[in-house]
Structure 1
Amino acid sequence: MDILKKYTGWFVLGTLIFYLFSVTQFTSVLIPTLLAWFANTAMWHTLAPSAKRQVSWLMGIGVAALLFAATQGVWMSWQQVFAVNLPMLAMFVAVSFLDLTSSKDESRPLPKGLSAIFNTAIGVNLLGAVINLSVIMVFADRMKGALKLTPIQQFILTRNFAAAAWWSPFFVATGIALIYAPGMEWQKTLIPGIAMAFVAIVFSSVEAYQRTKGDFLGYPIRRESLFIPLFMALAIILLHFIWPDVSILVLICLLAPSASIALMRTPSRRQTLTHFVNKKLPQIGSQFALFLAAGIFSNGISAIILSYPEFFNLDNFTFSPVLFALTLAGMIIIGLVGVHPVVSIAIASPMLLPLNPDPTQLGFLFLSAWAISAGSSGLTGLGLLMTSRYQIPTKDIVTNSAPYAIVMWLLCSLVNGFFL
């Protein structure tokens, strides 16, 4: 076990490298799968008690469902059970490298007023779209200063960070949507997704201004800090246009680490990268545990559905705009009570796929569920970060964001009905 802990970061890095090798069929997918589970075992001690409980329940229910389905003659392959979320884990490791390009600005005073609200919302959306969760902590730590983060600062950060799920190819939500909505064309959700993110930014900014009368301390955004997110997003779009047969996930796994290493500013690349692998990569244990457990859980659900097709028969339904809206509402509601979006997606996917839905519509459903529930819940990852690190009460997070969640649910349902 001590050996596992010592080399945790290298197991995490190996998951990405050998996943890419397996895509080219240079090695078996078994190798990155084993590395991912070794990394998960080594990082287990770093998980919060609540995360350990959630992961244990997911794994326990998943294994029980798989064993029961086996008694009914339904067997799932080891790749389905243990490696279904491997591409997404590799992507998560890849985008973690983007943290190497971020820089903290402690000298400039905090801006104030409507422009500060709007710039903070746009900044956390664009930077979060590429650099992911570390941006929330950089922004929040700087904005609170010697004081406490206010609930209004909290919802500007969490809602607009989560809204990047609608459009960013670097967001974990996109990886999940591509896996659980096979055949999804991410490019077709890009324009509707950008529109939804823009609405989220404007809605939250106006609400924050009305509630503070402009007395809001924002984050001091610099124009040069937005260069990397815009560059990375445009590069992915261009590369996918040049090589349409290469999946978005693989392009991200290749581009994110290589571009980060090329663009990082440090006296010693070797020293910085060694520190990153040994100290930073072992900190993503909760994501590894959750997504590996969700893979077992989702296949357990799938196996039960295959065992009793008559009970889960939705042949009388079609994936209509009404079913889209009802499913999205259900996923948002269970997100508010603490069910992580990846779990609700893992439940919904095997039930909806037999209806032969349009993969892009299904993908947009999953992206919308992620963006709204992650930005509104006090009990999933973002909300727990805000309650544990910044002492924002869970009740305040949910109460503040209930009107936002309803409005965005209605808009998503309309966008799906009219444009997708």
Structure 2
Amino acid sequence: MDQKTISTLPLSTTVTGWTLLLMLLLSLITALTHAVPDYIAGAPVWLAAALLIRRQRPSQLIQSAVLLIAGATGLAIGIYQGGDQRYLMKAFEANQMIIAMLIAVSFLRIVATRGIQTDEQLPPGRTAMLRTLFGTHLIAAVINISSIMIVGDRLSNHRQLTPLQGLTLLRAFSICACWSPFFAAMGVVLISAPGAQLSTLMIYGLPTALIALIFSAWQISHHPDADKTHGYPMHAGALWMPLLLAILVIIAHHYLPELSVITLVTLISILFTLTYLLLRQPRDCAIHLKTHIHEGLPKLGSEVTLFLAAAVLASGVAALLESLQLRLAPEHFTAAEACLTLSALVGLALIGMHPVTSAVLAGSILMPSVSDPNLLGITLLLSWSIGVGLSPFSGVQLSLQSRYGISAITLMKLNRFYGPFMLTTGFAVLWTYSAVSG
């Protein structure tokens, strides 16, 4: 997008972009200095959400509205019954640190697209498909669903995206939720399971992701259309960034343990993008950043509204349960309860509940019984990954259906063995963690 195109954008779109950037800066100031209250840092989210209403699908608006109404009702009843008003402040915070992380990570697209856009001829065959699976997985671990659009648009150029290609992109994306610190799943889980440690979650998440990728690779390579299906031409230039960023987050977390992982990911994403542009494209740095603020940030509308609504819902549920002195959690949260929770959350995903909603609800209800937050954290990550991969209502599956015309029924058929396999794997991971942690 050039300067002339930017100037023709609607004023509401431009204001939305700068409002979200303001929220990002306020959130970083809050996290690093505590000079600004959390609810002040979250205030711009509400303005941005109001400005973004017109950019959202009716189904997304309905889902967010239901969560907001349910949460507000819970808050009203809870406060009326004498509940703690801190839950009201938590609602106004609007999950601002998670939204700040999403905004910061979105800037990485400026760098990532320069490594994976190519006009090369698409290579066919099993090897090409496997490279697409593993390469897209690494890219998606950093820039999330944008990678699916970039790779998918290239694969579908002059030809229809095949079900096998769609399955490859779906698995590459959904498996990221098991381990990636740049994925929204990790941010939500670290807040929903306070006390969970990034290192522990990644130690168990990475092997789980590898098992899922190996199973997916086996399934893809044995598909009857594998030999004639085209993959994406992956190069080292597309893969160095996700690997480097993951290493930077781990190192920073080791030397700056007082900062939350969400803050570190947010800070590293912004600094990395600025450093890259200043070193590689100093003359165009300002226009790249301005283009993303004006065009890229407003595209986060559905995520911003959903995380805001989820924050209100979580606060409302917590306030209501406290005021009514209800205890829905089991007496203890062990591997057995974790397996039941995993099954329930995957089931909720299959009927359309967004993983953000299910994760915050599970955290609100179960935390009073949780003695080991890492166990809950692993459970939530597994449920997010498996649920997104299986549910025809997940964002990535809806994108594959609407953007590339891949049938939801076709994906369900291709997933008929993956679901039971990953649930069994998830149970084994939870029991293994419990046994090792004692």
Q: TM-score, normalised by structure 2?
A: 0.91
Whether the 8 Å CA contact 2:81–2:324 is kept in 1: the answer is: no
Q: CA deviation at 1:222?
A: 0.6
Letter in 2 for 1:113: G
Q: CA deviation at 1:191?
A: 2.2
Whether the 8 Å CA contact 1:166–1:371 is kept in 2: the answer is: yes
Whether the 8 Å CA contact 1:336–1:398 is kept in 2: the answer is: no
- Residue by residue over 1:251-292, the C-alpha shift from the partner in whole angstroms, topping out at 9 and shown as x without a partner, is 111110110122245451111111111111111010000000
Query: Which residue of structure 2 lines up, in the alignment, with residue 280 of structure 1?
Result: 296
Letter in 2 for 1:392: I
Query: Which residue of structure 2 lines up, in the alignment, with residue 74 of structure 1?
Result: 83
* SS of structure 2 residue aligned to 1:240: helix
Is residue 21 of structure 1 aligned with residue 33 of structure 2?
no
What does 1:5-404 align with in structure 2 at a 5 Å threshold? Answer: 5-23=13-31, 24-77=33-86, 78-83=88-93, 85-102=95-112, 103=114, 104-211=116-223, 212-264=225-277, 265-266=280-281, 267-310=283-326, 312=328, 314-315=330-331, 318-404=332-418
- Residue by residue over 1:358-388, the C-alpha shift from the partner in whole angstroms, topping out at 9 and shown as x without a partner, is 1111111111111111122111211111111
Whether the 8 Å CA contact 1:160–1:375 is kept in 2: the answer is: no
Q: CA deviation at 1:310?
A: 4.4
Q: CA deviation at 1:314?
A: 2.5
* SS of structure 2 residue aligned to 1:326: helix
Q: 2: CA distance between counterparts of 1:28 and 1:285?
A: 24
Q: Which runs of 5+ in 1 are unaligned?
A: none
Whether the 8 Å CA contact 1:167–1:190 is kept in 2: the answer is: yes
Whether the 8 Å CA contact 1:76–1:299 is kept in 2: the answer is: no
Q: CA deviation at 1:247?
A: 1.4
Whether the 8 Å CA contact 1:112–1:216 is kept in 2: the answer is: yes
Q: 2: CA distance between counterparts of 1:277 and 1:362?
A: 36
Whether the 8 Å CA contact 2:133–2:168 is kept in 1: the answer is: yes
Q: Which moved more, 1:213-222 or 1:33-42?
A: 213-222
Letter in 1 for 2:181: P
Q: 1: CA distance between counterparts of 2:37 and 2:70?
A: 28
Q: 2: CA distance between counterparts of 1:406 and 1:288?
A: 32
* SS of structure 2 residue aligned to 1:402: coil
- Relative distance call for 1:4 and 1:409 in structure 2 (3 A) is same
Q: 1: CA distance between counterparts of 2:123 and 2:11?
A: 48
- Residue by residue over 1:106-149, the C-alpha shift from the partner in whole angstroms, topping out at 9 and shown as x without a partner, is 32111222211211111111111111111000111111222221
Q: CA deviation at 1:84?
A: 5.1
Q: 2: CA distance between counterparts of 1:100 and 1:5?
A: 19
Q: CA deviation at 1:3?
A: 5.9
Whether the 8 Å CA contact 1:85–1:179 is kept in 2: the answer is: no
Q: 1: CA distance between counterparts of 2:266 and 2:246?
A: 13
Whether the 8 Å CA contact 2:129–2:226 is kept in 1: the answer is: no
- Residue by residue over 1:143-178, the C-alpha shift from the partner in whole angstroms, topping out at 9 and shown as x without a partner, is 122222122211111122121111111111010011
Q: Which runs of 5+ in 2 are unaligned?
A: 1-9
Whether the 8 Å CA contact 1:160–1:200 is kept in 2: the answer is: no
Q: 2: CA distance between counterparts of 1:399 and 1:131?
A: 28
- Relative distance call for 1:340 and 1:305 in structure 2 (3 A) is same
Q: Which moved more, 1:23-32 or 1:123-132?
A: 23-32
- Relative distance call for 1:5 and 1:146 in structure 2 (3 A) is closer
Q: 1: CA distance between counterparts of 2:119 and 2:406?
A: 26
Q: 2: CA distance between counterparts of 1:33 and 1:313?
A: 30
Letter in 2 for 1:110: L
Letter in 2 for 1:254: L
Q: CA deviation at 1:26?
A: 2.5
Q: Which moved more, 1:168-177 or 1:399-408?
A: 399-408
Q: TM-score, normalised by structure 1?
A: 0.95
Q: Which moved more, 1:55-64 or 1:388-397?
A: 388-397
Q: CA deviation at 1:313?
A: 5.3
Whether the 8 Å CA contact 1:65–1:304 is kept in 2: the answer is: yes
Q: 2: CA distance between counterparts of 1:300 and 1:245?
A: 29
Q: Which moved more, 1:104-113 or 1:53-62?
A: 104-113
* SS of structure 2 residue aligned to 1:372: helix
Letter in 1 for 2:262: L
